[in-house]
Every structure is written in C-alpha cells, then in structure tokens.
A and B are shown apart, each in its own frame.
Chain A
Amino acid sequence: MSALRQTPLHALHVELGAKMVDFAGYDMPVQYPMGIMGEHSHCREKAGLFDVSHMGQVILRAGDYETVAAAFESLIPMDVLGLGEGRQRYGFFTNDAGGIEDDLMFANRGDHLFVVVNAACKEADIARMTAALEPGVTVTPVTDRALLALQGPAAEAALATLLPEVADMRFMDVADVVWEGETLWISRSGYTGEDGFEISVPAAKADPLARALLADDRVAPIGLGARDSLRLEAGLCLYGHDIDTSTRPYEAALGWALQKARRADGARAGGYPGADHVFADRAALSRKRVGLRPEGRAPMREGVDLFAGADGGDPIGKITSGGFGPTVGGPVAMGYVPAELAEPGTKIFGALRGKRLPLTVTTLPFVAANFKR
C-alpha cells in the first residue's frame, strides 16, 4: 500500500486534535474534538473552515476565453461560452451513455478556465481533458496550491476581517485577492448550503491563512464527517454515491445545470458525450433522485433498498446517501425512485434490519440555502 498523501494543512489538523482517515488517498480530518454534530451546527450558526486541498485544481488555456470555452463545451453539457468573466458554474463530465463521470465547478477567469474536480476522480479527469482537448488547449494541473472553504453565516464577516473586498462578491462570483503579497483565487460558493467562500491559496501560505481565519472566534475547523451531513441536508450530490457513471443528469435532478443554449432546442445543442441519451431523459424520465424523510428516528443509510409497499414486491430503488441531519433534527436521505413515485408526499418503504419502515418523498434541500445572491 502506498503512503497516504498529505495536504499543506496536515500538521495543523494533527495539532488541532483531528481524527484522521484515508479519504481518496489523502490523510484527512474526519472530525476535530468538537465532534461531527457540534461542527455541523457551528457551521450552520457561525462559520466553519474546511481543508479541501485534496480536490483537483486545473487550469485550461487556449489563448483566449472563447476558444477554451468552446473546447470545454465538447466535454460538458453546460453553457461555458455564455459564462461571464469573474463568474463560476456547476457542471459535470458525461460519458457516451450520458452517465456522469465526475462533477465539477468551472470559472471564467478572464483569459482562461479554472476547474475544480473531485479528489477521487482528478487523475482520470485530467487524463480525459488532456486526451480530448490538447494540443489546442493546454491542461495544467495546479499542484502548488491548497484549497480552503470557509462556510456559514459568519463567513463573510470573518473573511472580510482579513480581506474587506470579499464583502462585495455575490454567490458564484470569482475574484483574485492579494493577501500578504500572495494572490488568492476566491469564489463565493461551497458545499454546505450556506453562504461562504472557497479559497485557492499558494501551498506555503495555506497554514498561515488557516491560522489567521481560525483566530477569529466565529471560525471553527470542520472535518469530512460534518461536511457530509451539511451537504446532505443541502440536497447536494456526492460523486460516487448520489451520482456516478450510471446516472444521467435529469435522473439525478440536475437538469437545472444544463443551460438553455445546450439543450435540444438550444443554439449549441448537444456536442458533448452522450447528449442523445440526456435529451431522451428530458422527454421521458424513468427514475429520479429525490429527498427522503424516514419516519421515526432511525437513520437509513446508503444501500438501503426501497419498496413501494409495506410488504412484497421487488425493490424500486436504493438510498444513495443517508444519515442523521443535525439541523433537521432527524434522519434524512436521498435516493432514486421510479418517476411515478417521485412526487413529494409519496410514501414508500425502506428495508432496515429486516423491517420495512416508511419514508416520505420530499423536496430538496432539507435545509433552505443561505446564499448571498
């Protein structure tokens, strides 16, 4: 077994008393002494600092933005050309069957694209982009920068103490901000449903920046455990669980991420892998990702089989993410159900320890988003 990789904040995590686990080949903090429940609530009420340096940061260049944007549209079903300078969007790579190969964020940074992909997929993503886009586009993995996320209602106030200009950013804006002589690439976005920022920082400055943020009483370090419960309550997909190579965008309830220009009737329809399969789903969907609220207190986790009735019948789907939602104060889950059972309010059943327990199909998110639009 190869040694686990470490982020530039590894020593800080250990110093803060984090419990470390292997996540996508990195030795990462799953929780700090505050505990998952406390960290989750702290992030919803004040501000949480996350180390997401294991994620892949990639720069795509082809002379000017229009050229690189047009090229990137051959890999993802999003409107990249129409994205304004200093703005970011959510997206995903598709395969020839219309399944999702990874989800990502991409930003128009003036003369180039900045892409952030999942840690577990980054090597494959870089290979995919290199194979498909070079030599016209230069694909450059950014390996000398860390990535921090500061999330929560006090995130703006805490970051603005160091960098007053971030207060002017809106949800999904990106900007360069200089801190102690180094340029930070900041976006106003995140993975918690809360207002907040993601900050790409030169590796050598990551530890001092994290310490400067943690010096603020409102900011606490948050591990991967609470990151998962926060994103689940926010109804956000976890790649490899809620979405994967076998789930297509409309099934995953991610149709909102396909802008008009790339739809079947749009100016630049299709042109990405599996577009015909994606278009077919838009006309007639067979299954859909939904929110699920188990009745009672027992959490229903990933892998639980779902049934239409209290007894008999074959499974109709599976839970893809589930657990206890600290802000909701009860169990929450997401999973795939047949389209005819996807209406909010529909009662279905999950098999837990040999019993079928009721769940109600629910709109997502479970906790309302708190973005600064």
Chain B
Amino acid sequence: MKYTEEHEWLVTEGDIVTVGITKHAAEQLGDVVFVELPEVGTEITKDEEVVVIESVKAASDILAPLDGEIVEVNDAIVDAPSKVNDDPEGEAWFFKVKPSDLSPMDDYMDEAAYKDFIG
C-alpha cells in the first residue's frame, strides 16, 4: 500500500489502482455525510479534484493521485457515507483507476513514511 500527502491510500493490483482515504483522514474529517464520486469512464488528471467529501463539519476535495481512466466507483459509500468512518481502509474504497502513467507511484510514501508524515 502507498500513501499520498492528501491522505489517500493506493493499492495496485495488475494494471488497476484502488484509491481510498486513510483512517487518519477519516478521523480528521469527522462524521462523513456526503460523497460525490466521478463517473466510470472519466479521464482524470493528477492533482485535479475528483471526489467531493463532506463531513458534518466541512467540505473537502480529494485530488486525483494519478493520470488515467476511472474504471469502477464504490456506490455503496454514496448511499451510506458513514461507511467511510467505519472502514476507510477496507470496504469504503472510493474508486479504481487504470493509470496511463504509473511513475508517480514511486514518489508516494510507504506505510512507515506515512506514519512519520502524520506524526
């Protein structure tokens, strides 16, 4: 598993990367009440806003970690946003992307580096 400074986690399986937010991010957000995901087939560009997530406190954006095409989204968290608090690093993944360029993956943090990052 890799981690971004935006508190996303990324898991690579074959040529698909699954993206979600970390437990730390979910705790910081507080109770999640709304998630808006991109549509399957959308071409995304690294660092553009791809997901809107709102907690009882505030709205946040999630930035695309890679260039590529969205191949699957997790509608279950749109229907039940509280899953993001319950199981952020498991059941409540956000989307799967087929990257056109995997090279940014090398720059993302491993678990030890992410733990240092969040202190």
What residues of chain A have their CB less than 8 Å away from a CB belonging to chain B?
31, 35-38, 225, 229, 297-299, 301, 323-324, 326, 331, 353
Contact = CB atoms under 8 A, between A and B. Distances in A.
B56 A225 contact: yes
30 contacts: A31-B30, A35-B30, A35-B31, A36-B30, A36-B56, A36-B57, A37-B30, A37-B31, A37-B33, A38-B31, A225-B56, A225-B57, A229-B56, A297-B33, A297-B34, A297-B81, A298-B34, A298-B52, A298-B54, A299-B33, A299-B34, A299-B54, A299-B59, A323-B56, A324-B33, A324-B34, A326-B56, A331-B33, A331-B34, A353-B52
Interface string B27-43: 00011011010000000
A356 to B, nearest CB: 15
B5 to A, nearest CB: 22
Nearest to A297: B34
Contacts of B30: 31, 35-37, 225
Contacts of B81: 297
Interface of B: 30-31, 33-34, 36, 52, 54, 56-57, 59, 81
B61 to A, nearest CB: 9
B42 to A, nearest CB: 15
Most central of A38, A297, A301, A331 by chain B CB within 10 Å: A297
Contacts of A301: 59
Contacts of A299: 33-34, 54, 59
B86 to A, nearest CB: 12
Nearest to A323: B56
Contact of B31 (A36, A297, A331, A353): A36
Contact of A324 (B36, B52, B54): B54
Contacts, number: 37
B56 to A, nearest CB: 4
Contacts of A38: 31
A35 B28 CA distance: 11
A57 B112 CA distance: 52
Give the one of A36, A225, A323, A324 with max B CB within 10 A.
A324
A271 to B, nearest CB: 43
Given A36-B31, A225-B57, A299-B54, 11 more contacts: A35-B31, A36-B30, A37-B30, A37-B31, A297-B34, A298-B34, A298-B54, A299-B33, A299-B34, A301-B59, A331-B33
Nearest to B81: A297
B26 to A, nearest CB: 11
Nearest to B82: A37
Contacts of A225: 30, 56-57
Contacts of B59: 299, 301
A89 B54 CA distance: 37
Contacts of B52: 298, 353
A31 to B, nearest CB: 7
B68 to A, nearest CB: 22
Nearest to B79: A297
A117 to B, nearest CB: 26
Interface centre among B31, B36, B59, B81 (most CB of A within 10 A): B31
Contacts of B57: 36, 225
A332 to B, nearest CB: 11
A37 B29 CA distance: 12
A298 B33 CA distance: 8
